């Protein structure tokens, strides 16, 4: 029998459980109780939870209430996509953050909520102001964590996010801003793009990321600042790979564009070692971009800078149609990355630059220990951020943006 969940609208405790069920992709039967009709005080409900509070779950004959207990039960009973960490240290930290939240934040939040909704406390009282200060302090500890990672603990959504998400609603009302924090040890660079596709290429899925043929991690796109390109209007592609390249000249990166979306490629944007593109005049070890039309006629575009040995990300510039290049505002693409061993990987997708997400800064340096607060306009979507000077494992990241179209 399907798992059943009893919940009430606007209850952050119930949200925790719904988030866990969704995250674990567990099918469930939803019972939305009406507080106004006192459905949570009915004799049937009180049999499940004598306190008359949501959430409650029923899994076969087993009934559980108290949101944190439910999360714990669900994780033990359905261990796939764990929410209490992958090892004792992660579990300890997740539980620590939850305990801190419950001991120091939740108790104060409930005083403020009481003041606003139930009228049990005077909103202007010293006690409420004091509670607000304490909650602000606790919120900052969570915010500091989120400045360094997309999730409250570690690299994944966990029970800590589910528990603290009630408090984070204020943050979620303004998710058009992102924080980037340089954890050190050196100054770093951040490069922001609109994500084109997050999955790997055709040769890999999430379970095969280590396969030799799985090269592509993500592709992003943006219009570059013309000041960086002598006034030319240039489209930059941000590419991240699953593996490091010893020298970027070991890679040939082709973006085949179907500009009129008729199923036939009409433009080849290529990034490769200059010598391989122009054996007579090209300099070996200099990485460049070039553009070719459907007849094979082409031109050298830009020298690619900014990469380092053993990186796995690159920013590739190509001049657009308004400055004499072949990149239009909208097209279907086939990204093909080929390494020196002749292994190649392919990703296909569609790009529409009218849907570009525009951060107020998309290319900047940031000192160790500093954070940058970046506002984004342009609508909803996902951004790809590349950190070329970071350690290779952490050179790319994605973030969801929700803004009104500007
Ligand atoms: N500690 C409980 C709190 C549950 C709770 O306070 N639920 C509220 C909704 S946010 C409720 O059902 N209130 C109805 C009542 O107490 O009469 C948990 O974590 O599940």
Tokens encoding 220: 């992003």
Largest CA distance in the chain: 87
pLDDT at 405: 41
Cα–Cα distance, 38 to 107 (Å, whole number): 25
Distance from the alpha carbon of residue 149 to the mean position of ligand 1, in angstroms: 30
pLDDT at 173: 39
Which residues sit opposite 380 in a β-bridge?
none
pLDDT at 215: 92
pLDDT at 9: 86
**What residue owns the CA closest to ligand 1's atom 12?**
53
pLDDT at 369: 79
The DSSP-derived string for 114-142 is IIIII-SS-TTSHHHHHHHHHHHHHHHHH
Cα–Cα distance, 316 to 238 (Å, whole number): 6
Helix (H) or strand (E) holding 162: helix 159-164
Model pLDDT for residues 242-282, shown as the tens digit of each residue: 889 989 999 999 999 999 999 999 999 999 999 999 999 99
At 268, give phi and psi (nearest 5°): -120, 115
Q: Among 38-47, 173-182, 190-199, 202-211, which stretch is predicted with the lowest mean pLDDT?
A: 202-211
pLDDT at 268: 98
Number of CB atoms found within 10 A of residue 113's CB = 16
Q: Which atom of ligand 1 is nearest to the CA of 51?
A: 16
Q: Is the pLDDT of residue 356 over 70?
A: yes
* Alpha-carbon dihedral angle through residues 100, 104, 109, 115, given to the nearest 10 degrees: 160
The domain covering 3-77 belongs, at the CATH homologous superfamily level, to: Glutaredoxin (3.40.30.10)
Cα–Cα distance, 231 to 220 (Å, whole number): 22
Q: Is the pLDDT of residue 404 over 60?
A: no
Cα–Cα distance, 284 to 228 (Å, whole number): 24
53 lines ligand 1 (CB under 6 A): yes
Which residues sit opposite 385 in a β-bridge?
192, 397
Number of CB atoms found within 10 A of residue 174's CB = 10
pLDDT at 171: 35
Q: Based on the number of CB atoms within 10 Å of its own CB, is 139 exposed (0-12), middle (13-18) or buried (19 or more)?
A: middle
67 lines ligand 1 (CB under 6 A): yes
Given the structure tokens 């379970």, which residue do they identify? Answer: 207
Taking residues 2-17, what's their average pLDDT?
Answer: 92
Tokens encoding 270: 């290529």
Sign of the C-alpha dihedral computed for residues 370, 376, 380 and 385 taken in this order: negative
Q: Which atom of ligand 1 is nearest to the CA of 55?
A: 20
**What residue owns the CA closest to ligand 1's atom 1?**
66
Contacts of 117 (CB under 8 A, 6+ apart): none
Tokens encoding 47: 């049999």
40 lines ligand 1 (CB under 6 A): yes
Instruction: Choose which residue among 6, 32, 51, 53 to substitute to test ligand 1 binding: the one with the highest number of ligand atoms within 8 A of its C-beta.
Output: 53
Sign of the C-alpha dihedral computed for residues 321, 323, 326 and 332 taken in this order: negative
Model pLDDT for residues 332-349, shown as the tens digit of each residue: 999 999 999 999 999 999
pLDDT at 368: 84
Average pLDDT, the chain: 88
pLDDT above 90 covers what percent of the chain?
A: 62
Q: What are the domain boundaries of the chain?
A: 3-77, 106-173, 183-401
CB 44 within 8 A of CB 63: no
CB 403 within 8 A of CB 388: no
pLDDT above 70 covers what percent of the chain?
A: 92
Taking residues 126-142, what's their average pLDDT?
Answer: 79
pLDDT at 238: 97
Model pLDDT for residues 56-72, shown as the tens digit of each residue: 999 999 999 999 999 99
Helix, strand, coil percentages, rounded to 5, for the chain? 30, 30, 40
Distance from the alpha carbon of residue 59 to the mean position of ligand 1, in angstroms: 20
256 lines ligand 1 (CB under 6 A): no
**What residue owns the CA closest to ligand 1's atom 9?**
11
pLDDT at 170: 38
11 lines ligand 1 (CB under 6 A): yes
Distance from the alpha carbon of residue 25 to the mean position of ligand 1, in angstroms: 24
Q: Which atom of ligand 1 is nearest to the CA of 11?
A: 10
pLDDT at 116: 67
pLDDT at 206: 54
Q: Which atom of ligand 1 is nearest to the CA of 70?
A: 20
Q: According to DSSP H, which parts of 185-273 are helical?
A: none
* DSSP secondary structure letter of residue 327: B
70 lines ligand 1 (CB under 6 A): no
**What residue owns the CA closest to ligand 1's atom 6?**
53
């Amino acid at each position: 029998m399907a798992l059943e969940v009893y919940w009430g609208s606007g209850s952050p405790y119930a949200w925790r459980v719904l988030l866990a069920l969704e995250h674990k992709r567990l099918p469930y039967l939803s019972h939305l109780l009406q507080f106004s009709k006192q459905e949570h005080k009915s004799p049937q409900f009180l049999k499940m939870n004598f306190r008359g509070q949501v959430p409650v779950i029923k899994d076969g004959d087993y009934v559980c209430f108290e949101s944190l207990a439910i999360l714990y039960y669900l994780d033990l009973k359905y261990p796939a996509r764990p929410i209490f960490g992958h090892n004792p240290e992660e579990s300890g930290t997740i539980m620590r953050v939850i305990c801190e939240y419950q001991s120091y934040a939740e108790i104060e939040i409930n005083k403020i909520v009481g003041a606003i909704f139930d009228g049990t406390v005077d909103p202007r009282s010293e006690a409420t102001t004091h509670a607000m200060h304490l909650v602000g302090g606790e919120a900052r500890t969570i915010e500091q964590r989120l400045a360094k990672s997309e999730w409250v603990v570690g690299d994944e959504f966990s029970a800590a996010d589910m528990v603290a998400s009630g408090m984070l609603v204020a943050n979620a009302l303004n998710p058009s801003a992102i924080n980037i924090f340089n954890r050190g040890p050196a100054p770093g660079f951040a490069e922001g793009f609109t994500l084109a596709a997050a999955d790997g290429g055709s040769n890999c899925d999430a379970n095969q990321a280590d396969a030799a043929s799985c090269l592509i991690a993500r592709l992003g796109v943006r219009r570059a600042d013309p000041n960086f390109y002598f006034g030319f209007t240039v489209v930059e592609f941000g590419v991240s790979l699953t593996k490091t390249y010893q020298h970027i000249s070991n890679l040939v990166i082709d973006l085949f564009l179907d500009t009129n979306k008729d199923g036939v490629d009409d433009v080849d944007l290529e990034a490769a070692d200059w010598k391989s593109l122009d054996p007579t005049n090209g300099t070996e070890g200099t990485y460049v971009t070039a553009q070719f039309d459907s007849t094979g006629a082409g031109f050298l575009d830009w020298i690619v800078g900014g990469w380092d040995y053993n990186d796995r990300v690159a920013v590739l510039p190509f001049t657009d149609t308004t400055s004499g290049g072949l990149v239009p505002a909208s097209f279907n693409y086939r990204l093909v990355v080929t390494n020196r061993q002749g292994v190649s990987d392919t990703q296909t997708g569609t790009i529409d630059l009218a849907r570009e997400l525009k951060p107020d800064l998309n290319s900047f340096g940031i000192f160790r220990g500093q954070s940058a607060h970046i506002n984004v306009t342009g609508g909803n979507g996902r951004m790809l951020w590349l950190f070329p000077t970071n350690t290779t494992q952490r050179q790319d990241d994605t973030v969801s943006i929700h803004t009104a179209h500007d």
